[in-house]
Chains A and B, each alone.
Chain A
Amino acid sequence: MNLRLAATRLIPVWAVLAALMLGMLLVRLAGANPFVAYSELLRGAFADLFGFSTTLVKTTPLLFAGLGVAVALRAGLFNIGAEGQIYLGGLGATLVGVYLHGLPPVVHIPLTLFAGALAGGLWALLPIVLRVTRGVNEVITTLLMNYIGFFLVSWVVSGPLMEPGAPYPYSRALDPATNLPVLIPATDAHAGILIALFLALLLHLLFARTAYGFQLRAVGANPMASAYAGMNVRVTLVAAMVLGGALAGVAGAVEVTGLKHRLFEGFSPGYGYDAIVVAFLSNGQPLGVVAMSFFFGALRSGANIMQRSLGVPVAIVFAIQGLAVIFLAAGLAIQRRSLVLELLRARLKGGATTDAHVEAARHDAS
């Protein structure tokens, strides 16, 4: 049994490795040597200060949003709307940063984060309410909300909040009191990563040690039995989704307050979707999300260098990520199937379970 558990934990790793191998093929197609390309990737991500700071910068939103998707996943929900929640989170933080002045950073910064969380959480509210009241599939509704959120921000940034005289749409500057402290001088790396790591730890403890985490797990595993045991399934689902949205919202807030200190149209290059990959590959475990988001942050950071020095398009990273999840889904399915077949062999078809037989078999085996 333990071997199987270990194998389950390893499947994401196999999936990523397999995807990377296929990625090598793609690099070949682009006319570069895969080994050189991958070493450029690694070098770009870690070897120098600038590269490492880029890795941190790219990891941060992935981590926040990945946690957001993971929370929902634990409750059995698919939060595909992280991208939209990121945008709304950025918008929320921007509103607080642009319209409030004269507050000290120790107040203003948490305020922006809170606004981001609130906006993201609210953006997730409609899909989940539709799901629990009308059974509407939250995958499509959250997807649609992504587009609406993107265009909403786009409109705000080219209209009401626009910096007068800007050559392309971006918002007015946020109050400097909202700027996140810089971690590595002369780089973009900001304190957002620390907040994210802290939240990841918090979430880990929440899941593993609290009654709420237990309830989340129970509802995600079997909502019906949880209802029979007295848990309020609807509230649990709504809370999980809103919390997920809030976390993704913070991702957006931190992107704005940590990097450019303005809201830009299209400021999220698909972090929300990457976050889905990260969360699935980590099976919803917060500590796993940390590892996976670092990995993909590094990929993104290194890929820029790879493109610059070897001409391999950055888009290869998306392809690799997609492949990783495909392999993961396949791997999990195969593994579940062999497990199920094994269980099935101990039961007979036709409605009833043969307990006498199973019990006999079990005692014979043990």
Chain B
Amino acid sequence: MKVTGGRAVPAHGRDPILRMEKITKRFGPVLANDQIDLVVREGSVHGLLGENGAGKTTLVNILYGLYQPDAGRMLLRGRQVRFTSPRSAIRQGIGMIHQQFMLVPPLTVAENIILGLPPRRSAFLDLRRVEAEIRTLSKTYRLDVDPRAPIWQLPVGIQQRVEILKALYRQADLFILDEPTSVLTPAESEALFEIVKRLVSEGRSVIFITHKLDEVMHVCNEVTVLRQGRVVATLPTTETTPAALARMMVGRDVVLRLEKGPARRNGVVLQIDGLRAFNDRSLPALKGVSFAVQQGEVFGIAGVDGNGQTELAEVVSGLRRATAGRIMLRGVDVTNAPVRRRISQGLAYIPSDRHRFGVIPDLTVADNLVLKDFYHPPFAFRAILQPGTIRQHAAALAKRFDIRMAGIEQEVRQLSGGNQQKVVLAREVSGDPHLIVAMQPTRGLDVGASEFVLRTILAQRDRGAAVLYTSAELDEVLAVSDRVAVMFDGEIMGIVRPNEVSLEEVSLMMGGALRKPLLPPTEVNE
């Protein structure tokens, strides 16, 4: 018997450490978890695979005590448990590493790790002892973290290790990792997989949530596939293939099949030279970026989130100051020009967070559709609004883009995410813009909505617009783009054609380990 922190743990074997039986959870009309069975064997890495919204996070939040199930039961080490808060789950040895880190930026690593723990000896914090303990743990698991560093100074990969240390410090033996590689470079991901293997070799168990098929095959012993709140299948990874898993995940053969004709390129629309800028934390985010985008092409920006893509899009759109360099839009210098100037030069912007930046949730659909144009004719004459024209315009757009809603006077806040994105698209695209800056336009959307967005963007490209496209989904970027720039640490590592480069090379570029020449826009003789 291995005794850990007062809990008796069965001898290392293949007994299930966790059994979740017929777990059901409803949020209003939506059935997030529908009678889910999950069995995690001790000392294994159990994958939880599914698309966005399949119910994976809900399930583990129930396990972690953040939610209560409507039905079903959980057995931890053979004993039935019910967690009313994370505290009780933590006490029973469950540790969760969330997708968005639960770390308090101004506090140090040590302070974050002991947050919420009752004092050991006296009523006062003994940070020195905690720091020493962390150093030991850190060394044992080769996590290399400085316990005195404040979180905000640490890169994302290291922050994730702090999260793992947090769980280790609380003597967790069941770890839940929720999409852990979404913020890591391929190299950091490999390091994470090593850590996972080490944890498991000591008899701990890991639930690994992901939507990436190759990770499942690479890291997990078993996998449970969820779709729309139900378990599709549970099987060892040795007995399946990525294609089979993908089919189970989506329910049909999914290949990102985009009807894409050859690019019809023309003159240069966007010219970027030596662009520099700072991010919100006053650190350099763009370190001299240069490229050009032509009419009729999709120019993709690939890279792990946080390497400057967001800042690049913001500088191009006018939401962030460039500290050096030049932006030419259709031959006009718009570096640091106000947003409206760029809009009148033909810029359209689809932001990554539609709820915060794309729409005004409290305003109606009609209002949102004229957000860029309400102040000039035909929507306003001498500053007086023309409600009739606005309504007509809105109705026409809603029809053309198939926006599902109760009416154009409905508040956008009540629309689904996919339809909200349609509102954004409709507004941005309907003016036949010359340059579309699309920032992760399919984020948080289901397959159907994503396809719509991608088709719309490709249609614009065929019409002759230039598209600057960023996405965290590498497959998507590679499928949609005619040329791709890979960004790492504020620089472009290379501009390549998707069909002329291997996935490995792209991965290396994303991790900063490879540079390739910057492919210029093609000379066109049309």
Q: Do A and B bind each other?
A: yes
Residue ranges of A at the interface with B (Cβ–Cβ < 8 Å): 1, 209-215, 217-218, 221-222, 224-232, 342-359, 361-362, 364-366
CB-CB under 8 A for A342 and B375, given A214-B385, A348-B53, A351-B99: no
A340's closest neighbor in chain B, by CB?
B413
CB-CB under 8 A for A217 and B363, given A224-B357, A228-B319, A357-B30: yes
Interface presence of B55 (CB below 8 A): yes
Tally of A-B residue pairs with Cβ under 8 A? Answer: 151
In-complex Cβ contact of B416 among A212, A350, A353 (8 A): A353
For residue A108, give the distance in angstroms from its CB to the closest CB of chain B: 31
- Max count, chain B CB within 10 A of own CB: residue among A212, A349, A364, A366: A349
Q: Of B300-308, B441-449, B478-486, which binds chain A?
A: B441-449
B53's closest neighbor in chain A, by CB?
A354
CB-CB under 8 A for A232 and B338, given A225-B357, A349-B58: yes
- Max count, chain B CB within 10 A of own CB: residue among A210, A224, A352: A352
Q: Could you list 27 examples of A-B contacts with CB < 8 Å?
A: A210-B380, A210-B383, A210-B384, A212-B383, A217-B363, A225-B356, A228-B339, A229-B339, A230-B339, A230-B343, A231-B340, A345-B29, A347-B27, A348-B27, A349-B58, A350-B57, A350-B99, A351-B444, A352-B52, A353-B52, A354-B32, A357-B32, A359-B404, A359-B418, A361-B29, A362-B404, A365-B29
Interface presence of B359 (CB below 8 A): yes
Complex CA–CA separation, A213 to B416 (angstroms)? 28
- Please name all residues of chain A whose beta carbon is closer than 8 Å to the beta carbon of B339 when the two chains form the complex: 227-230
In-complex Cβ contact of B319 among A227, A353, A365 (8 A): A227
Top 10 closest pairs, chain A to chain B, by CB = A345-B28, A350-B57, A354-B53, A352-B52, A353-B417, A361-B29, A230-B340, A229-B371, A211-B375, A222-B360
Complex CA–CA separation, A8 to B450 (angstroms)? 36
Q: Decide if A353 touches B367 in the complex (CB within 8 Å).
A: no
- Max count, chain A CB within 10 A of own CB: residue among B27, B351, B406: B27
CB-CB under 8 A for A355 and B417, given A209-B384, A228-B339: yes
Q: Decide if A355 touches B445 in the complex (CB within 8 Å).
A: yes
Contacts of B338-389 to chain A: CB distance below 8 A: 338-340, 343, 349, 351, 356-363, 367, 371-372, 374-375, 380, 383-385
Interface presence of B31 (CB below 8 A): yes
- Please name all residues of chain B whose beta carbon is closer than 8 Å to the beta carbon of A343 when the two chains form the complex: 413-414
- Max count, chain B CB within 10 A of own CB: residue among A1, A355, A366: A355
Q: Decide if B359 touches A351 in the complex (CB within 8 Å).
A: no
Interface presence of B224 (CB below 8 A): no
For residue B420, give the distance in angstroms from its CB to the closest CB of chain A: 9
Q: Decide if B371 touches A225 in the complex (CB within 8 Å).
A: yes
Q: Decide if A356 touches B360 in the complex (CB within 8 Å).
A: no
- Please name all residues of chain B whose beta carbon is closer than 8 Å to the beta carbon of A221 when the two chains form the complex: 360-363
Interface presence of B88 (CB below 8 A): no
Complex CA–CA separation, A231 to B416 (angstroms)? 26
- Max count, chain B CB within 10 A of own CB: residue among A228, A349, A362: A228
Q: Decide if B416 touches A359 in the complex (CB within 8 Å).
A: yes
Complex CA–CA separation, A232 to B361 (angstroms)? 19
Q: Decide if B29 touches A346 in the complex (CB within 8 Å).
A: yes
Interface presence of B491 (CB below 8 A): no
For residue A212, give the distance in angstroms from its CB to the closest CB of chain B: 6
Q: Decide if A350 touches B61 in the complex (CB within 8 Å).
A: yes
Instruction: Identify 19 new A-B residue pairs, CB closer than 8 A, beyond the known A348-B53, A353-B52.
Output: A210-B383, A214-B367, A214-B375, A215-B375, A218-B360, A225-B359, A226-B371, A228-B358, A229-B371, A345-B30, A348-B30, A348-B32, A348-B57, A349-B57, A350-B56, A351-B444, A352-B444, A354-B446, A357-B229
Interface presence of B228 (CB below 8 A): yes
For residue A345, give the distance in angstroms from its CB to the closest CB of chain B: 2
Interface presence of B159 (CB below 8 A): no
Interface presence of B317 (CB below 8 A): yes
- Please name all residues of chain B whose beta carbon is closer than 8 Å to the beta carbon of A352 when the two chains form the complex: 52-53, 444
CB-CB under 8 A for A225 and B358, given A345-B28, A349-B57, A353-B53: yes
Complex CA–CA separation, A346 to B416 (angstroms)? 9
Q: Decide if A222 touches B362 in the complex (CB within 8 Å).
A: yes
Complex CA–CA separation, A359 to B139 (angstroms)? 49
Interface presence of B178 (CB below 8 A): yes
Interface presence of B392 (CB below 8 A): no
Q: Decide if B385 touches A348 in the complex (CB within 8 Å).
A: no
Q: Decide if B99 touches A362 in the complex (CB within 8 Å).
A: no
Q: Decide if B30 touches A361 in the complex (CB within 8 Å).
A: yes
Interface presence of B100 (CB below 8 A): yes
A359's closest neighbor in chain B, by CB?
B416
Complex CA–CA separation, A240 to B414 (angstroms)? 29
CB-CB under 8 A for A357 and B228, given A228-B317, A230-B339, A342-B28: yes
* Binary CB contact string for chain B from 18 to 57 against chain A (1 if under 8 A, 0 otherwise): 0000000001111110000000000000000000110111
Complex CA–CA separation, A88 to B361 (angstroms)? 38
- Please name all residues of chain A whose beta carbon is closer than 8 Å to the beta carbon of B449 when the two chains form the complex: 355
Q: Decide if A357 touches B53 in the complex (CB within 8 Å).
A: yes
Q: Decide if A230 touches B372 in the complex (CB within 8 Å).
A: yes
For residue B351, give the distance in angstroms from its CB to the closest CB of chain A: 6
- Please name all residues of chain B whose beta carbon is closer than 8 Å to the beta carbon of A210 when the two chains form the complex: 380, 383-385
CB-CB under 8 A for A214 and B362, given A232-B338, A342-B28, A353-B416: no
Complex CA–CA separation, A342 to B30 (angstroms)? 11
- Please name all residues of chain A whose beta carbon is closer than 8 Å to the beta carbon of B319 when the two chains form the complex: 227-228
For residue A366, give the distance in angstroms from its CB to the closest CB of chain B: 8
- Please name all residues of chain B whose beta carbon is closer than 8 Å to the beta carbon of A226 when the two chains form the complex: 360, 371
Complex CA–CA separation, A346 to B229 (angstroms)? 14
B59's closest neighbor in chain A, by CB?
A350
Complex CA–CA separation, A347 to B319 (angstroms)? 29
CB-CB under 8 A for A228 and B361, given A342-B28, A346-B30, A359-B418: no
